[in-house]
Amino acid sequence: WGSAPATSLLSLAVTSEQIEHLHRRFKQLSQDQLTIRKENFDSIPDLEFNPIRGKIVHAFFDKRNLRQESDGLADEINFEDFLTIMSYFRPIEMNMDEEQLDRFRKEKLKFLFHMYDSDHDGKITLQEYRNVVEELLSGNPHLEKESARSIADGAMMEAASICVGQMGPDQVYEGITFEDFLKMWQGIDIETKMHVRFLNVDTIAHCY
Amino acid sequence: MFLLLPFDSLVVNLLGISITVLFTLLLVFIIVPAIFGVSFGIRKVYMKTLLRIFQWATLRIERGAKEKNHPLYKPYVNGIIAKEPTSLEEEIKEIRRSGSGKALDTPEFELSDIFYFCRKGIETIMDDEVTKRFSAEELESWNLLSRTNYNFQYISLRLTVLWGLGVLVRYCFLLPLRIALAFTGISLLVTGTTVVGYLPNGRCKDFLSKHVHLMCYRICVRALTAIITYHDRENRPRNGGICVANHTSPIDVIILASDGYYAMVGQIHGGLMGVIQRAMVKACPHVWFERSEVKDRHLVARRLTEHVQDKSKLPILIFPEGTCINNTSVMMFKKGSFEIGATVYPVAIKYDPQFGDAFWNSSKYGMVTYLLRMMTSWAIVCSVWYLPPMTRQPEEDAVQFANRVKSAIARQGGLVDLLWDGGLKREKVKDAFKEEQQKLYSKMIVGSHEDRSRS
């Protein structure tokens, strides 16, 4: 599989063992093809548990997350793209300075922001917020749509007050921009929580 | 004209003599003990010798690897990522506390709530529990079978010779022997049960039927060179009960049935299996279903209940997982057999993968390929534990009872107790499971929301 360009992988600062693990996983998901499509994620039963499964899978194909110039959704991703998405979840390293940490944090928060902002216009509108809340609360048959909506509306108002302060009665809050989003996550150490750690397996995985 | 060369007749004679000797040996050392249920202990000696050889082989590989200064390829067993053990509630509480300082009991949705699900989702994408359970369990030492070796380049000449010898022994000596035994066992079973079937019903028929079955299963056990250790035999299933065990391969049936007399349950197949099934049912009442009847759960349940209520009938043998699992864990038991209301006798079967991997990955190998693999392994070593009988308590439903039995089996066999449905190997997840996590989360948010709107 040695065709992946070495330079871009180095920037991920993942060990070669971990890349091999992830490659095995990629091959398993893609059923030995070179690319993965949305349907391939259906083969993960544990993922069905997850209420925002759709948004997570969507995030893998979101061109903004794949650091591509264009906008919209990709149809399929290759191993390099897979690693790019996984890099949003790498743990912080000890030797990072302030600036690197800040950039690291912004990247992770951008990933979460893109999850909310489904129409890619750079703002989380009330409708998009409602969508997320409804998805998270979906599957509960006793919950009425109105309850979910009112929870979302309440939360949105809260967000507005944090970001814009007191609004006049005629002011319309258009949506949460990325700067506002950052404000709301202040104080939460997302960079230490949003990661997936590899187990320290001190030997290499199989070679095929 | 056939005997042109002078030593041709010699060759033919030698061949004849060796075959006779072989068959006599076969009869004396294998078939006769099988009939009477005794054992010479040959297989145990064989097992010990093999173990010593394997240890030597593994040491050579490790030495070879060290010489070349390469790390060894040891497969992992526990998964590749460290999953955070915190629960949904703990995580959300923690995030909210560090963020806006609000506690969980204030009923609002927080922007950060999405985070827990997002991370869990990525964790399962990277590495998930269920798919791992379905490929053969990975070994730590090499057992001289090329199918389990990943370190080929570190084998020295001596080891290659040993491996070659192993192949010779397995394919040219053990395989024909085993096939001969299997053939003998199966034909004896078919003819024996058909003959017994002609007898009038009564104690004589039952006695003979039991012994014909046992004898033939014991021959089949020897045909696979299965070395079985039975524990707690005083808990063996009795009439009117249901025997429940975890399922790794079709061989499980042979292993259990060679130590006890059971009524089998299953679908009628065509071909050789069908012939065997039809012969068996002449001698004693097994429960076979037509393919069309299998889908009808009520019919199945009714027939099983009828069978169980008749105390003169044998205990039923059922594998509730529904499919073969790779013997590192126990998956969800289907509740059908637990609804019937009979006493359940759980049995745990654990195979030792060092001598031959007994797991049948039915999506990878067909039945014939699988049997060939089994017959060309060194041996099949397993332990069987008979657990004390269990009955359904009044306050539990069938699913809870099934889970209780499953945990007991998993604990005894040293297997991991998984909630997942073995049927997942082929199908998609049932919607009921999707709701669990969502319900928990929505309860957290909405429950308190309703409190607030009321106050």
Which domains are delineated in chain A?
Answer: 7-199 (1.10.238.10)
Q: A190 and B115 in contact by Cβ < 8 A? A: yes
Q: A199 and B79 in contact by Cβ < 8 A? A: yes
- Say whether A37 sits in a helix, a strand or coil: strand
Cα separation, B335 vs B348, in Å, equals 18
- Residue B216: C-alpha distances to residues B52, B245, B283, B383 (Å): 32, 21, 13, 20
Question: Which of A17, A23, A48 to mutate to test binding with chain B, by most B CBs within 10 Å of its CB?
Answer: A48
Sign, CA dihedral B441-B446-B451-B455, equals: positive
In this structure, are residues A29 and A39 in contact, taking their beta carbons and an 8 Å threshold? no
Q: A47 and B80 in contact by Cβ < 8 A? A: no
Alpha helices (runs of H) in B311-414, residue ranges in sequence order: 367-375, 398-413
Alpha helices (runs of H) in B333-383, residue ranges in sequence order: 367-375
Which residue does chain A place closest to B107, by CA atoms? A151
Q: B442 and A143 in contact by Cβ < 8 A? A: yes
Q: B428 and A187 in contact by Cβ < 8 A? A: no
Task: Give B204-249 as a DSSP string.
Answer: HHHHHHHHHHHHHHHHHHHHTTEEEEEE-GGG---TTEEEEE--S-
Q: A194 and B119 in contact by Cβ < 8 A? A: yes
Query: Given A115, A158, A186, which is nearest B114 (Cβ)?
Result: A115
Amino acid at A171: Q
In this structure, are residues A128 and A116 in contact, taking their beta carbons and an 8 Å threshold? yes
Pairing mode of beta strands B329-332, B316-318: unpaired
Q: A151 and B120 in contact by Cβ < 8 A? A: no
Query: Given A53, A112, A205, which is nearest B121 (Cβ)?
Result: A53
Q: B437 and A47 in contact by Cβ < 8 A? A: no
Run of H or E residues at B344: strand B343-352
**In chain B, what's the furthest Cα-to-Cα distance?**
111
Cα separation, B39 vs A19, in Å, equals 52
- At which residue do the structure tokens 């043998």 appear? B317
Paired residues of B348 in beta bridges? B385
| Structural Rg of chain A based on CA atoms | 19
Q: B441 and A56 in contact by Cβ < 8 A? A: no
A205 to chain B: which residues are within 8 Å by CB?
Answer: 73, 75-76
> How far off is chain B from A143, nearest CA to CA, in Å?
8
The one-digit pLDDT tens for each residue of chain B (455 residues) are 555 566 778 888 888 888 888 777 777 777 777 777 777 777 888 888 888 887 777 777 777 666 665 544 444 444 555 555 555 666 666 666 665 555 444 546 666 677 777 887 888 787 765 555 444 444 455 666 666 555 555 567 777 788 888 888 888 888 888 888 888 888 888 898 888 888 888 888 888 888 888 888 888 888 888 888 888 888 888 888 889 988 888 888 889 988 888 888 877 777 777 888 888 888 888 888 887 777 777 787 888 888 888 877 888 888 887 666 666 666 666 777 788 878 899 999 888 777 777 777 766 777 778 888 888 888 888 889 999 998 888 888 888 888 888 888 887 876 665 555 454 444 444 445 545 555 666 666 665 444 444 44
Cα separation, B440 vs B443, in Å, equals 5
> How far off is chain B from A73, nearest CA to CA, in Å?
19
CB within 8 Å of B371: residues ≥ 6 apart: none
- Say whether A62 sits in a helix, a strand or coil: strand
Q: What is the pTM of this model?
A: 0.56
B98 touches chain A (CB under 8 A): yes
* Residue whose C-alpha is closest to residue B117's, from B369, B434, B417: B434
Cα separation, B138 vs B74, in Å, equals 9
A194 to chain B: which residues are within 8 Å by CB?
Answer: 115, 118-119
The interface residues of chain B toward chain A in range 381-420, judged by CB-CB distance below 8 A, are 420
What pLDDT score was predicted for residue A171? 61
Question: Which of B438, B440, B448 to mutate to test binding with chain A, by most A CBs within 10 Å of its CB?
Answer: B438
Cα separation, B83 vs A4, in Å, equals 28
Say how many C-beta atoms besides its own lie within 10 A of residue A52's C-beta: 21
In this structure, are residues B305 and B114 in contact, taking their beta carbons and an 8 Å threshold? no
ipTM for the whole complex: 0.79
Cα separation, A65 vs B213, in Å, equals 64
In this structure, are residues B445 and A152 in contact, taking their beta carbons and an 8 Å threshold? no
> How far off is chain A from B167, nearest CA to CA, in Å?
23
